[in-house]
Amino acid sequence: MTPEIEETTVSSRGGVTVPSSVRDRLDIEEGDKLRWQLDDTGELQIEVVHQRDGVFDDAEPIDMGETNAVDVKTEFGEE
């Protein structure tokens, strides 16, 4: 894989814009987080932490039947 090189400028408030080519390739969307890790040698690693709203919106509900917390507690005891 050929490395891609992009440059951005740090703003006066410390903000950095992630280049669109990087956002597209890593599927970074609004609300996602970037986790920054700096090791003792000064090498920086950045991990994308996807924070998607509505991740389970398309999931179908599953009927688990009726449950009663008191009955469960009686049957299985306290944790």
pLDDT tens for the chain, 79 residues long, are 678 889 999 999 999 999 999 999 999 999 899 999 999 999 999 999 988 766 666 777 777 677 666 666 666 666 6
Q: What is the pLDDT of residue 72?
A: 62
pTM > 0.85: yes or no: no
Q: What is the pLDDT of residue 62?
A: 74
The rounded distance, in Å, linking the Cα atoms of 49 and 77 is 38
Domains and CATH numbers, the chain: 1-54 (2.10.260.10)
Which amino acid would we find at residue 48? V
Q: What is the pLDDT of residue 36?
A: 96
Helix (H, G, I), strand (E, B) or coil at 13: coil
